[in-house]
Amino acid sequence: MVKISRYILVVIAIVGFSIGIPKLYWMAFSKPIRVPFVMYSCIENDFMIQRSGEDGLMRQDTRGNNYTREEYEEKLPFLYVRQLLMSNTMPDSINGVEMDTHEISMNRSTFRVQPEDLDSQTQKLFPLFEAESGRANLEMPEDYFRISWRMEFVDAKSNKILEEKSQMFSAVLYNRGFEFPAKSINGIPTTRKSCDEGYLVVDSKDQLFHIKMIEGEPFVEKVKLPGGMKFKYISCVDFRNKNFYAYLFSTNNELYILTQDEYELIKFPVENIDPAKNQIRIYSDLFHYNIIVSGDDFVKVYALDTNYQNVNDYYETWPAREDRSEGKIIQALFPGQISMTDSDSNFIRFYTTFNSSLYWLVLSGLLIGVQFVIIKKRNLELKKNIIDFIIIGVSGIFGFLAVNIFPNKFFD
């Protein structure tokens, strides 16, 4: 039992060290990775790339031409509308289309989703707004709903279930073929939006429903989906042109939009859109959609026209943290590391990464040698220390520290 307690302590120490020591290392030696910002220019019909380097910002196109700040901003008129208006450099028309500030802002939108938005607590309670209250501003309802074995409204003040409302909504959902409970409920749960379009709800059979409340009555619309279509993430949007309800990310890494009123599902001609792994940003303007997929070591940008046809794309990679010198050194020091948090998740987990290279084995071998000397010096039996050697071999410096902090001194 005492020996077991020692191994428990050794394991605890290894866990503690493989969290703490690499953290200190990165605190001391990590350097920022400068990610280029890439946007499609409707003027040049080419991608404009802005990078930050040692001597400040550099602005280029894909052919290597350099631009001054002013030139660069003029190439991206919809990104720098206010600046161009202020300096009177906004062209009167682009591609034959007259520049009207109202039109520009109507068609401008930005959207962003990143892995941590998906790897996060699933919200289960939402406020259902009155979509047509006749008031200029949306109002916060007094109750919240959940969709478990039925659609249930809970009054916040009394913390009690509103039986009548719950039955009314549940019945309508049931009649429209909704299979309880809901897998995911997606909407914009805030009063700070132009109008309310309710929620897009996936039921337990992966059917998609649009649910809102109009004058106190349930509005439920089942969306026709191609067979086998499942969604990884649905993000409702509130864009001024009201073209579509949401961006929908399917489980086979495709990107769709769901048009308003007709409930038409349109696929974007883009590949490998995985918001669980990469950050996805979508910028739209009068002429183009820019879909920017960025990972740790690459950026891929698709430019689409307003008919959702691909006009151009751009791909660039750079060395990831592991391939840079500070990343290579740590691979020689430690077999891996544990972190309780991860920038791609809102959950606390034991995020364990093992080094892909095996250089750390050299250090492990060295430490086994040192341990051998220590054991000889203390006149201890080698046979009884075999497990300690294995621990050092597998966990390197973490294990070496652990087995010496909790020394293997047992008597028969």
Partner 1 sequence: MWKSVIYKEWLKIRWVAIIFGGLGILAVGNIFLKVQHDLVFNEATNYWYFILFQGYQFFGYGLFKFIPVLGALAVAVAQYFPETVNKRIKLTFHLPLNENKVLLMMMLFGTICLLAIDVIMFLLFTSLSLLFFPSEIIIATLVSTAPWFLCGFVVYFLVALIVLEPVWKYRFMYIIVAGAFVPIYLESAETGGYAPALPLLILFTVVLSISLLFSGYRFRKGEM
Contact 270, 255 (CB under 8 A): yes
Q: What string marks each residue from 325 to 344 as x (binds partner 1 by CB under 8 A) or -? A: ---------------xx---
Cα–Cα distance for residue pair 321/353, rounded to 1 Å: 13
Closer to partner 1 by Cβ: residue 128 or 303 = 128
Asked whether position 162 contacts partner 1 by CB under 8 A, the answer is: no
Count the Cβ atoms, other than its own, within 10 Å of residue 56. 7
Look at residue 222 and give its three-state secondary structure. Answer: strand
Binding piece for partner 1, criterion CB under 8 A, among 44-52, 71-79, 103-111, 401-409: 401-409
Question: Which amino acid is located at 145 in the chain?
Answer: F
Q: How many helices (H) and strands (E) in the chain?
A: 9, 24
Count the Cβ atoms, other than its own, within 10 Å of residue 4. 8
Token code pair at residue 318: 């750079």
CB of 256 to partner 1, least distance (A): 25
When binding is defined by CB under 8 A, the residue of 31, 82, 349, 376 that contacts partner 1 is 349
Closer to partner 1 by Cβ: residue 213 or 225 = 213
- Give the single-character DSSP code of 224: P
Cα–Cα distance for residue pair 222/217, rounded to 1 Å: 16
Cα–Cα distance for residue pair 219/199, rounded to 1 Å: 10
CB of 12 to partner 1, least distance (A): 5
Q: What angle do CA 51, 55, 60 make, to 5 degrees?
A: 35
CB of 289 to partner 1, least distance (A): 28
Per CB under 8 A, which of residues 180..239 are in contact with partner 1? 189-190
Closer to partner 1 by Cβ: residue 199 or 287 = 199
Per CB under 8 A, which of residues 97..156 are in contact with partner 1? 120-121, 123-125, 127, 140-144, 146, 154, 156
CB of 16 to partner 1, least distance (A): 3
When binding is defined by CB under 8 A, the residue of 346, 365, 382, 386 that contacts partner 1 is 346
CA dihedral sign of residues 323, 326, 332, 337: negative
Asked whether position 17 contacts partner 1 by CB under 8 A, the answer is: yes
Residues that bind partner 1 (CB under 8 A): 1-2, 4-6, 8-9, 12-13, 15-17, 19-21, 120-121, 123-125, 127, 140-144, 146, 154, 156-157, 159, 189-190, 340-341, 346-350, 402, 405-406, 409-411
